[in-house]
């Protein structure tokens, strides 16, 4: 056990599974970090350094830099998965799914079903989500609700280094296509992470804080915003159940409903949009199946329904912050 | 997990092998495909089948020639006009008919319909309705052969409608880059849906596109099953021995409209007549007769055998049960995720 970053934890999960299983291969843009140039090999490891060191250990036969060609290489990864490999493919920013949407949602998601179960797609797509780097509308979105729409895709949104390693390990071992969403502002977050490999089961929420007054469900980086808010609220005497679903498909509906049954109040903090997003999905779940337990209206804390601006002051207003969570919780408690 | 060929339907596998070295069996398969597609159209016109269907009348030699060239362990990734390719590869008449009828005994249990057949046991990985998508996937299948040290070659089969979509170009680039053991089969039937190929590109022959990626190509007479087989055999061998990809443009013609609702009124008068002159069944019959491999009586006997096979298979397929409700919820997720997650709780 040692303090490790989210970046290191992800790297360790990939390394661990590549050592354990020779069928695991890695491909994507820049994953080998400047492969083929005459300078330093393995210089970079993806734009944020997550896969550094893999080329040196596993060689160019298993760590492949691809052209900027997402439909091509994600399609190829699907074909490789159907043919006996277990590819981990890097869709650098989740926004880029726009150019390979067919491969992800029509092909990977539906293959097994449309094959009549004759084959499977053990494929992991790693991709970055989230705002906060002032890189505007096409590099900052959080599209996990889009992926979650499609039956056949599993969708993971780890909020911490420990979860990232355990969930990515599960993703790579899973026999279905998995979208693994890495929040780009979390890469430098550290916590104790075991050196050995471990798998966190998919579909099990993590209860990060127990209280009886209000249920706060938060996803990915919003878990930390909600956690900061919960600490302040505790000083006001408001005790929070803070629940991180960790995976949006499968979604641990039972834990959410159980918590709301106890608290009667629900606030959802989500960086995906206010329309057709995870907050809306979870609100609908509780409205349908937990209505009788509610003592106050459900409140969603999400960005506004706009594209994401680059200007730092506007971007900071776009992303939900602690004050918005505090307001929401105080409102439902006072209702 | 490697593909499990041991689960292959013995009848399909026998059909898969039958045409490999026997020209009379190839002739029989050509006749069978023509007759089977006619029967499928009858299912639709009589209201026994719903949905759409895409027939390949006139293109049978491409399907049979490809299947004859490849060993059963090579994998085919095929476009939507798939009855011909499926039957050529060995899918049984019952499974193809039943899939068109939405029956539980269909190729994929009635889930796919007319244009989604799968039978991995005979090398048909799947058939795809999004144009061009399978070309990249076939390259990935070929890449898997390289990593796994397998001598399997993959074959991507697509139409002239697929050569202007991005994924075609992305896939060719990757295949050349990886020197992947894949053969690209461009089945040029001259129409993409209702639109003649000459109205949508300035670059012909279409196969010339392969030059952009340093991939060898040639145009092949797609009306002649033996020409298709010999060109494909050479390309498969080249790929299998490390030579990388080849693109073959099979020049052929679709006698009918795009799908069952299209009467093809857009064709210029007389255009189809020239192609009917070189009908693939006529071409193969003439060869068998001239080479002394069959007599007129032999060919008549084949026609009768096929007619009875079709009638019997149609009856069996039509009598098969519809899928139960549980089939709608089957195969969405792989069983028993090894991570310990419960597929049953997926919402």
Return the SS3 of A180.
strand
Contact A205, A256 (CB under 8 A): yes
Extract the tokens encoding A236: 């006001």
| Shortest Cα distance, chain B CAs vs residue A203, angstroms | 6
Contact B158, B79 (CB under 8 A): yes
* A139 in active site: yes
Report yes or no on A66 lying in a domain: yes
Q: Which residues on A lie below 8 Å from B165 (Cβ)?
A: none
Domain ranges of chain B: 8-263+274-319
Residues A187 and A211 in one domain: no
Residues A47 and A187 in one domain: yes
B192-204 confidence digits (pLDDT tens)? 988 999 999 999 9
Count of all residues that appear for chain A in the document: 335
| C-alpha closest to that of A221 among A253, A182, A165, A259 | A182
| Boundaries of domain holding A24 | 2-193
Neighbours of A38 (CB within 10 A): 6
Report yes or no on A210 lying in a domain: yes
Report yes or no on A201 lying in a domain: no
% residues pLDDT > 70 (chain A) = 97
Predicted-complex ipTM score:
0.94
| Model pLDDT, residue B347 | 32
Mutation choice for B interface testing from A116, A144, A281 by most B CBs within 10 A = A116
Is pLDDT of B180 > 90? yes
What band does A48 get if pLDDT is binned at 50, 70 and 90? confident
Q: Classify the C-alpha dihedral B120-B124-B128-B132 as positive or negative.
A: positive
CATH 3.30.1330.30 describes domain B8-263+274-319: no
**CB of B60 less than 8 A from some CB of A:** no
Rounded to an integer, the average pLDDT of B263-271 is: 90
pTM, 2 dp: 0.95
Average pLDDT of chain B is 93
Residues A181 and A330 in one domain: no
Q: What chain B residue is nearest to A281 in terms of C-alpha separation?
A: B347
What band does B233 get if pLDDT is binned at 50, 70 and 90? very high
B31-63 confidence digits (pLDDT tens)? 999 999 999 999 999 999 988 899 999 999 999
Report yes or no on A159 lying in a domain: yes
**CB of B53 less than 8 A from some CB of A:** no
B155-179 confidence digits (pLDDT tens)? 999 999 999 999 999 999 999 999 9
Report yes or no on A198 lying in a domain: no
Task: Specify the number of domains making up chain A.
Answer: 2
Report yes or no on A33 lying in a domain: yes
| Shortest Cα distance, chain B CAs vs residue A251, angstroms | 6
Give the CATH number for residue A324: 3.40.50.920
Extract the tokens encoding B111: 């889930």
Give the CATH number for residue A160: 3.40.50.970
CB within 8 Å: A122 and B1: yes
Residues A20 and A155 in one domain: yes
Residues A81 and A169 in one domain: yes
What band does A30 get if pLDDT is binned at 50, 70 and 90? confident
Residues 152-191 (B) with a CB less than 8 A from some CB of A = 152, 154, 166-167, 170-171, 173-174, 177
Alpha-carbon span A63 to A31, nearest angstrom: 7
Alpha-carbon span B3 to A319, nearest angstrom: 46
Residues A176 and A243 in one domain: no
From A115-129, B2-16, B261-275, the region with the lowest mean pLDDT: B2-16
How far are the Cα atoms of A285, B38, B70, B186, B215 from residue B56, in angstroms, in the given order? 48, 10, 20, 14, 28
Q: Give the end of a domain, one of A161, A193, A225.
A: A193
A222-256 confidence digits (pLDDT tens)? 999 999 999 999 999 999 999 999 999 999 999 99
Contacts of B143 (CB under 8 A, 6+ apart): A76, A79, A80, A85, B174, B178, B180
CB within 8 Å: A71 and B136: yes
Rounded to an integer, the average pLDDT of A98-114 is: 97
Q: Which residues on A lie below 8 Å from B341 (Cβ)?
A: 154, 170, 174, 201-204, 247, 250
Q: Which residues on B lie below 8 Å from A148 (Cβ)?
A: none
Q: Which of B331, B334, B347 has its CB closest to that of A250?
A: B347
Is pLDDT of B342 > 50? no
Residues A136 and A32 in one domain: yes
> What is the Cα A135 distance to its own chain's centre?
19
Count of all residues that appear for chain B in the document: 347
**Residues A273, A278, A282, CA angle at the centre, nearest 5°?**
135
């Amino acid at each position: 056990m040692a303090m490790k970053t989210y970046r290191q934890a992800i790297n360790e999960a990939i390394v661990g599974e590549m050592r354990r299983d020779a069928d695991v291969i890695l491909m994507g843009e820049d994953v080998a970090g400047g492969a083929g140039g005459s300078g330093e090999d393995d210089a970079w490891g993806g734009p944020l350094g997550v896969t550094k060191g893999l080329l040196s250990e596993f060689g160019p036969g298993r760590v492949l830099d691809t052209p900027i060609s997402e439909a091509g290489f994600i399609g190829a990864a699907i074909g490789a998965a159907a043919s006996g490999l277990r590819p981990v493919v890097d869709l650098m920013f989740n926004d880029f799914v726009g150019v390979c949407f067919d491969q992800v949602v029509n092909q990977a998601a539906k293959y097994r079903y449309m094959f009549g179960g004759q084959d499977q797609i053990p494929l992991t797509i790693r991709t970055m989500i989230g705002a906060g780097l002032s890189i505007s509308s096409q590099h900052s979105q959080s599209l996990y609700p889009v992926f979650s729409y499609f039956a056949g895709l599993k969708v993971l949104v780890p909020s911490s280094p420990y979860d990232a390693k355990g969930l990515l390990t599960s993703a790579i071992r899973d026999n279905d296509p998995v979208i693994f969403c890495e929040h780009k502002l979390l890469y430098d977050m550290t916590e104790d992470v075991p050196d050995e490999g471990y798998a966190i089961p998919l579909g099990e929420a993590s209860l990060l804080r127990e209280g009886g007054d209000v249920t706060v469900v938060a996803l990915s980086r919003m878990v930390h915003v909600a956690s900061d808010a919960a600490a302040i609220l505790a000083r006001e005497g408001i005790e929070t159940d803070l629940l991180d679903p960790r995976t949006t498909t499968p979604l641990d509906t039972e834990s959410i409903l159980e918590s709301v049954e106890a608290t009667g109040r629900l606030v959802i903090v989500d960086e995906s949009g206010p329309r057709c997003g995870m907050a809306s999905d979870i609100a609908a779940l509780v409205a349908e199946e937990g209505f009788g337990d509610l003592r106050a209206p459900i409140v969603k804390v999400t960005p506004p329904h706009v594209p994401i601006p680059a200007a730092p002051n506007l971007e900071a207003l776009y992303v939900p912050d602690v004050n918005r969570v505090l307001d929401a919780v105080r409102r439902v408690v006072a209702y | 997990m490697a593909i499990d060929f041991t689960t292959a339907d013995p009848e399909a596998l026998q059909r898969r092998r039958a045409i490999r070295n026997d020209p009379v069996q190839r002739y029989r398969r050509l006749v069978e495909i023509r007759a089977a597609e006619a029967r499928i159209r009858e299912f639709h016109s009589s209201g026994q089948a719903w949905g759409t269907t895409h027939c390949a009348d006139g293109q049978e030699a491409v399907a049979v020639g490809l299947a004859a060239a490849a060993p059963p362990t090579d994998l085919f990734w095929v476009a939507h006009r798939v009855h011909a390719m499926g039957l050529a590869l060995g899918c049984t008449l019952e499974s193809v008919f039943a899939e068109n009828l939405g029956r539980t005994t269909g190729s994929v249990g009635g889930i796919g319909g007319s244009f989604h057949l799968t039978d991995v046991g005979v090398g048909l990985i799947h058939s795809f309705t999004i144009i061009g998508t399978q070309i990249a996937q076939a390259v990935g299948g070929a890449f898997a052969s390289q990593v796994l040290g397998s001598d399997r070659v993959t074959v991507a089969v697509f139409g002239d409608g697929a050569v202007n979509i991005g994924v075609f170009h992305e896939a060719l680039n990757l295949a050349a880059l990886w020197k992947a053991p894949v053969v690209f089969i461009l089945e040029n039937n001259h129409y993409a849906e209702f639109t003649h190929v000459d109205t949508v590109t300035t670059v012909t022959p279409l196969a010339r596109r392969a030059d952009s990626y340093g991939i060898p190509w040639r145009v092949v007479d797609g009306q002649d099953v033996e020409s298709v087989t010999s060109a494909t055999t050479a390309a498969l061998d080249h790929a299998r021995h490390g030579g990388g990809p080849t693109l073959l443009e099979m020049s052929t013609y679709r006698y009918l409209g795009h799908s069952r609702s299209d009467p093809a009124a857009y064709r210029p008068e007389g255009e189809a007549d020239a192609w009917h002159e070189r009908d693939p069944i006529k071409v193969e019959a003439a060869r068998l007769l001239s080479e002394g491999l069959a007599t007129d009586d032999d060919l008549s006997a084949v026609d009768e055998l096929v007619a009875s096979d079709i009638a019997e298979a149609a009856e069996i397929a039509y009598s098969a049960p519809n899928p139960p409700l549980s089939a709608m919820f089957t195969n969405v997720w792989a069983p028993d995720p090894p991570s310990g997650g419960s597929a049953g709780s997926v919402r």
